Amino acid sequence: MTASAPLIMEIVEAAPRRRGWPEAEKERLVAETCAPGMSVSLVARRCGVDPSLLFRWRRRLLVPRSKPRPCSRRWNWRGPCRLSPA
């Protein structure tokens, strides 16, 4: 009699869900990138955020738009990297 090889099964889990970021947290991280000596990549690495996502948040929160979107922030022209209330 010969023994057969053990049967090996691999369990594949579903892909992880996307993380949701509250607006307040996005604004905090964007404001942190504006501090002297800080960079987007440094903040992103430290907080576990993809740098491209943080750049997208910066663009949305800091760059003026011709037509403001609801719930968006506008550029405050008094100085760079300041979030103004909507």
In a domain, 5, yes or no: no
How many structural domains is the chain composed of? 1
In a domain, 36, yes or no: yes
pLDDT for the residue numbered 63: 77
Task: Please identify which residue in the block is written with the tokens 């100085």.
Answer: 79
Average pLDDT, the chain: 78
pLDDT at 68 over 60: no
Query: Do the Cβ atoms of 30 and 39 come closer than 8 Å?
Result: no
Task: Please identify which residue in the block is written with the tokens 């964007």.
Answer: 30
Q: For residue range 37-49, list pLDDT tens digits in order.
A: 899 999 999 999 9
Q: For residue range 5-25, list pLDDT tens digits in order.
A: 777 878 777 777 778 899 999
pLDDT for the residue numbered 78: 47
Helices (H) and strands (E) in the chain — how many of each? 3, 0
Query: Do the Cβ atoms of 29 and 57 come closer than 8 Å?
Result: yes
Angle at the Cα of 16 (from 10 to 21), degrees rounded to 5? 170
pLDDT for the residue numbered 82: 59
In a domain, 60, yes or no: yes
